[in-house]
Structure 1
Amino acid sequence: MKILITGAAGFVGSKIVEYLRLGNTEVELLGIDNLSRKGSETNISILEKFNCTFVKGDISVQADIDKLPKVDWIIDCAAEPSVLAGLIGGSLDLINNNLVGTFYLLEKCKRDNAGFIMLSTSRVYSINELNSIRFIKKDKSFVIPESTSFPTGFSKNGVAEHFSTVAPISLYGATKLSSEIMALEYHYTFGFPVWINRCGVIAGPGQFGKIDQGIFSFWIYQYLLNKPLSFIGFGGEGLQARDLIHPFDIYTIIQQQIYSPIETAPKVINLGGGIENTLSLSELNHFCSLNIQKDKKIGSVIEGRTFDIPYYSTDYSIANLHWNWKPTISAYQILEEILDYGRNNLDHISQIN
């Protein structure tokens, strides 16, 4: 079997390569990445370590895809993953990377009769619908209120797959939702297997961390580098909360989708840490204060950013029902791993950040 991993030199892609190799020493692994993200070239050595053939190429360039050998599966980890992408220029690049690239990959699946696994995002869900929920403040975080009148697809367990995807969802969310629809249509038209995994915030060691993507890593690294931080929006108190998921827990379901597929399972599922692994910025800051620097001053900006939401937690009930899946690595375990990685690689992180 030969598996192509796109975005292979990125945080998630390189981790998926690692876990695929550790899970199967015989499978052929092929990775492609355009190395556009600062620091991604340093992950090539990881791919080599796990015997993954690396090709520098861009999935939005048809010629780069056409020159690749025949494969049995494509795991699409390539994306411009920021909800702020395309707001000020760069919208065409966003569409090329996240939508046109998907089209070329699906065409390759059609030619090769290969399966397609897409890592999508929780950002396909309606921003207005999420903002319509009156989350309440409890201690250092927004939490789900006691209510019986939530929008369709929302419950005490968080956001389910049938939650509204009505615009606005950001240009980023729109490219991923469009890619999902295209992938499903290719599946039903041409018959090759397609699985779409909508992921919450992915976090773990090896993530470079940016303010608009990888917030948990970013916050910890800013503490380690003694750089300024601010709570932005929602009163400037750091109450906004997200669940987080480790790449290993994403790998465990990818492994099932490739090697032990359940044909009756829904094609689109949510993956995330869930209610039990949801943390606010204030709670993240408290972790950093206890473990790194007690007296760090945090700025406060009352006004929020475009497309921000107060709360997101994944209802992964469908994944649990059909795949017996649930996250195995807790939020605080993830933070500890990021902190250990940051301390051991601070020089490298300082050059990237």
Structure 2
Amino acid sequence: MMDKKILVTGGAGFIGGNFVHYMVDKYPNYMIVNLDALTYAGNLETCQPVEGKPNYKFVKGDIADRDFIFDLFEKEKFDIVVNFAAESHVDRSVTDPEIFIKTNVLGTQVLMDASRAYGVERYHQVSTDEVYGDLPLNRPDLFFTEETPLHTSSPYSASKASADLLVFAYHRTFGLPITISRCSNNYGPYHFPEKLIPLMISRALNDEQLPVYGNGENVRDWLHVYDHCAAIDLILHKGKIGEVYNVGGHNERTNLEVVKTILKALNKPESLITYVKDRPGHDLRYAIDPQKLETELGWKPTYNFDTGIQQTIEWYLDNKQWWENIISGEYQNYFEKQYGDK
């Protein structure tokens, strides 16, 4: 008999997939149900290490499909819902905002309606520091706190902020037991290769040009995905209902510094860097103050950026098949290979 049944949405994505690994391994008495629509960023090969374990199950489906979600909740009787499922690439939101509204806002509403209907004891929304907008480059003393007003820059961040406000409304209006976490930029294993760090690693290994937006001076606070998973675990077990917790790494780097670090580690020349036109509404600096999480729940990051980026680069070197399958498109055939005859 399992102690808890936890629904992890978006569990075939980067952060959700790492969270699935973390929870399946740490809590053998928790049943982890991984729900993912397997859109372009969903990769079941990420979950291959936990397939076959008695406390893990995969379900394919869309969080915005109300009938499907209610049927799933009726069947499974979840205790906890952790919502990672989201369209998350800023560039894609500039090109096609509509899918971001459907998944990130309407999908969140459907999940919360089902959570209300079936008495879920905790609904956790995984958000982002991008809902706060950005900070000026010339004020290194400024950080995002949980009290920072929402001030979005892209259709992606606007959709995530909208979802956060909806989560708060469901808590206040309906008494839904919720928590929200807002994280800085994640990095680590199983990161989809269109994102900055894995993109630069894969292209540098192939001696291809590394495109850097603008002058590369935009600053991000980098958080190892393992530390993010540990933070969400703490929030689920010790976090206060109705609260927001910021999760940050205190590892600020310019995009150019990150790229140069990768090139140096791979012994590749900086001549591979090419500067491209900046994207519209490109945020200048993100920086999170995680003091609330540290003082109230006792969270501390395990990785600093220097050790974490080296480990991440080594992982990509050791797992070339995983990211080469994504670049070739082969990963999209994995579901049929694994589940097609079942």
Q: TM-score under structure 1 normalisation?
A: 0.84
Q: Which residue of 1 aligns with 2:245?
A: 269
For 1:295, the aligned partner's letter is: P
Matched, 1:281 2:255: yes
The CA deviation at 1:320 is: 1.8
**Alpha-carbon distance in 1 for matches of 2:119, 2:314:** 42
Q: Which residue of 1 aligns with 2:68?
A: 64
Q: Which residue of 2 aligns with 1:227?
A: 208
Q: Which residue of 1 aligns with 2:99?
A: 93
User: 1:323-346: CA deviations, max 9, x gaps?
Assistant: 222322111222112211211122
Matched, 1:192 2:176: yes
The CA deviation at 1:305 is: 1.0
Q: Which residue of 1 aligns with 2:123?
A: 116
Q: TM-score under structure 2 normalisation?
A: 0.86
User: 1:8-40: CA deviations, max 9, x gaps?
Assistant: 111111111111122211111111001112561
Matched, 1:204 2:188: yes
CA contact (8 A) 2:235 2:297 kept: no
**Alpha-carbon distance in 1 for matches of 2:45, 2:63:** 20
Q: Which residue of 1 aligns with 2:266?
A: 292
Secondary structure of the structure 1 residue equivalent to 2:220: strand
The CA deviation at 1:201 is: 0.5
The CA deviation at 1:91 is: 2.2
Do the aligned partners of residues 293 and 323 (structure 1) sit closer, same or farther apart at CA in structure 2, a change above 3 Å counting? same
Matched, 1:329 2:313: no
CA contact (8 A) 1:72 1:112 kept: no
**Alpha-carbon distance in 2 for matches of 1:56, 1:223:** 34
The CA deviation at 1:190 is: 2.6
For 2:202, the aligned partner's letter is: Y
User: 1:72-125: CA deviations, max 9, x gaps?
Assistant: 10000111011223322x322111111111001101110122111111011112
Matches within 5 A, 1:1-353: 1-38=4-41, 40-50=43-53, 51-68=55-72, 69-88=76-95, 90-114=96-120, 115-127=122-134, 130=135, 133=136, 135-136=137-138, 144-145=139-140, 156=141, 158-166=143-151, 168-210=152-194, 214-233=195-214, 236=215, 238-262=216-240, 267-274=243-250, 277-301=251-275, 303-353=277-327
Listed as ranges, the gaps of 5+ residues in structure 1 are 137-143, 146-155
User: 1:134-163: CA deviations, max 9, x gaps?
Assistant: x24xxxxxxx45xxxxxxxxxx25222222
Do the aligned partners of residues 310 and 257 (structure 1) sit closer, same or farther apart at CA in structure 2, a change above 3 Å counting? closer
For 1:101, the aligned partner's letter is: G
**Alpha-carbon distance in 2 for matches of 1:33, 1:340:** 28
User: 1:191-224: CA deviations, max 9, x gaps?
Assistant: 23211001110110111231xxx31222222212
Structure with a larger share of its residues in helix: 2
CA contact (8 A) 2:193 2:323 kept: no
CA contact (8 A) 1:220 1:338 kept: no
**Identity between Structure 1 and Structure 2 (%):** 27
For 1:35, the aligned partner's letter is: L
Listed as ranges, the gaps of 5+ residues in structure 2 are 328-342
The CA deviation at 1:46 is: 3.4
**Alpha-carbon distance in 2 for matches of 1:271, 1:190:** 27
Do the aligned partners of residues 320 and 91 (structure 1) sit closer, same or farther apart at CA in structure 2, a change above 3 Å counting? same
Secondary structure of the structure 2 residue equivalent to 1:305: coil
**Alpha-carbon distance in 2 for matches of 1:229, 1:290:** 13
The CA deviation at 1:280 is: 1.6
